[in-house]
Chain A
Amino acid sequence: MELTEKQLQWKDEFRAFVDEVVVPHADVHDREQYLEPQVIQKMKEKGYLGSMLEKKYGGMELDWVTIGILNEEIGRGCSSVRNLLTVHGMVALAILRWGSDEQRNHWLSTMAAGEKIGAFALTEPEVGSDAKNVQTTAVLSDDHYVLNGHKKWITMGQIADVFIVFAQCEGKPTAFLVERDSPGLTTTPIDSLLGSRGSMLASLHFENCKIPKENMVGTVGIGLSHVGLHCLDYGRYTVACGCVGLGQACLEQSLQYARSRKQFGSVLGENQLIQKMLTEMTVNVKAARLLCYHAGHLKDQIDPDSIMETWNAKYFASKMVNQAASDAVQIHGANGCSGDYPVERYLRDAKINEIIEGTTQIHEMLISKNSLRNT
C-alpha cells in the first residue's frame, strides 16, 4: 500500500511537529506525571484535537489513513500525548455518530478546537474486561438522570471537561455525557503508574450525580453495542498506530546506539546478534504499520471488515512494540536501564498498550473466534 502525495505531506508535517514540540517534553511528562500545557496548546493551534472531526465543526476532516499517521507520529514522540488524542476523539466521535443534533451542536466545535477536552469512562474497580457488567447505575428522576458508582483508570480524568460514562439504565448498558462540574461528581488523581505516566488518570466518584436527561447518548441499551464499541474502534485504531510510532522510536534509537557504541573493538551494529534484533524490529514495525494502513484504508471505504482488521492491527502492534522496546533496552545495556536514554520509558509505555482498549487476551479470544467462524 502506498501513501498519496497529500498523505506524505501530512506525514512530514506531523513528524516535524513531533520532533519540535512533543519529543523535547516527553521525559518531563513521564517524570512529572502531567502534560505540559504548552504542548496541549500547540496541539490545539494545529487543530489536531479536531483531527477526527468534520470541517463543518471546525475539524480537520482527515481521511482515516492520515488520522493513523498522525497518531503514529505523536506516539513516536510521547504515548501520553497520543492518549490525549485517543480518549478525546473517542468522546467526539461518539457524539458525532450517536449523539442528538443538540449534543453535536453543543459539543463538537468546542471539542474540535480543544476548548473542551473529553475522556472515556468505562472501567470500574471491579469491572474491566467484562464491560457489559458495569455496576454504575443511572436512574431517571423527573428531568434528570441520577448516577451512582465509581470509575477507575480514566485517562485524562484530571483535566477532562466532559466524560462519556457507561452505566446500567433500566438494567442495560447506556452512555451518558457528564460534565466535570456536575453536582455529585468528584475526581481523584491516580499516580505512580508503570507507563503512560503523563496521561493524568483519575478515579471518578458519582454520588447521586445529577445530569440533564438530554445527556444520554443514543438510547437505553445501546451504550456498549453501538456507542462504546464505536468509541473503542477509534481507540483501538489510534492505540495500534501509536504502537507503530513507539516501535519506530525504539528502532531509531537502537540504530543510533548500535552505530556509535563500541565493544570488542567494533560498533555493536557489526555484531550479528544485535543485527538480528534490529532486523526483527525493522520488519515487525513495518508489518504493524501495514496492518494499520490496511485498517485505515478499509475505514475510508466504510467497510464492515475494518472493525476486525482494527482488532488484528491492535493485537499485533501492541505485542510487537513490547518485543521491540525490550530489545531496544537490551541493545542499550545498562544505559537502556537509566533515565539517560528514552528506551526505558518506551518499555514501560509499551506494556500499557497490551492492557488498554481490550487486553491481549481479550483480543486472542475474539480474533480466534472470528477466524473459527469465518474461515
Chain B
Amino acid sequence: METTNVKVKQFLSKFFRKHELQDDEDIFSLGFVNSLFAMQLVMFLEKEFGIKVDNKDLDMSNFKSINAICELVDRKAS
C-alpha cells in the first residue's frame, strides 16, 4: 500500500505540478486534468501494477482520489 501510494502520487504529480495533492482530495474537482487524463491513468495503473481495469471498474469513485486508486489497485491485485 505504501509503495502503491508513492507510485500513484508520482504519476499524478505530473498533472498537479503546482499543487501538493492530499491522499483523500478529489482529483477531478480541482480542474487540473484534461480530457486525456482518464485514459492515461488507466494505462499507468495497468502497466505499473499489472492489473486489468475493465468496464466493471469504471465507477468514477474508484479513481477520485489517491486513496481510492490505491484501494482499487489493492483489490484488483489480490
Say yes or no: A302 contacts B46, CB within 8 Å.
yes
* Majority secondary structure, A binding face: helix
Query: With A100-B55, A374-B14 known to touch, is A307 a contact of B36 (CB < 8 Å)?
Result: yes
A219-B58, A302-B46 as given contacts; A229 in contact with B14, CB under 8 Å: no
Complex contact B58–A226 (CB within 8 A): yes
Binds A, one of B1-9, B37-45, B69-77: B37-45
Q: Give Cα distance in the complex from A306 to B42, angstroms.
A: 13
Contact yes or no, B43 A302, CB < 8 A: yes
The number of A-B residue pairs with CB atoms under 8 Å apart is 58
**A219 contacts across to B, CB distance below 8 A:** 55, 58-59
Q: Are A226 and B39 closer than 8 Å at their CB atoms?
A: yes
Chain A nearest CB, measured from B47 CB (Å): 4
Hey, what's the 0/1 contact readout for B10-40 against A, CB within 8 Å counting as 1? Answer: 0100110100000000000000101110111
Chain B residue contacts of A218, Cβ below 8 A = 55, 58
Task: Let me know if A225 and B47 touch, CB within 8 A.
Answer: no
Closest residue of chain A to B16 (Cβ to Cβ) is A373
Check if A229 sits within 8 Å of B17, measured CB to CB: no
Asked if B43 and A225 sit within 8 Å, CB to CB, the answer is: no
CB proximity of A94 to chain B, nearest CB, Å: 11
User: How far is B35's CA from A224's CA once the two chains are assembled, in angstroms?
Assistant: 9
Residues of chain B with a CB closer than 8 A to A6's CB: none
Min distance, Cβ B12 to any Cβ of chain A, angstroms: 11
Q: Which residue of A lies closest to B54 (CB)?
A: A98
Interface centre among A132, A224, A229, A374 (most CB of B within 10 A): A229
B interface residue numbers (CB < 8 A to A): 11, 14-15, 17, 32, 34-36, 38-44, 46-47, 54-55, 58-60
13 pairs from A and B in contact (CB 8 Å cutoff): A219-B58, A224-B35, A225-B39, A229-B36, A230-B39, A304-B40, A304-B41, A306-B43, A307-B43, A308-B36, A369-B34, A373-B15, A373-B32
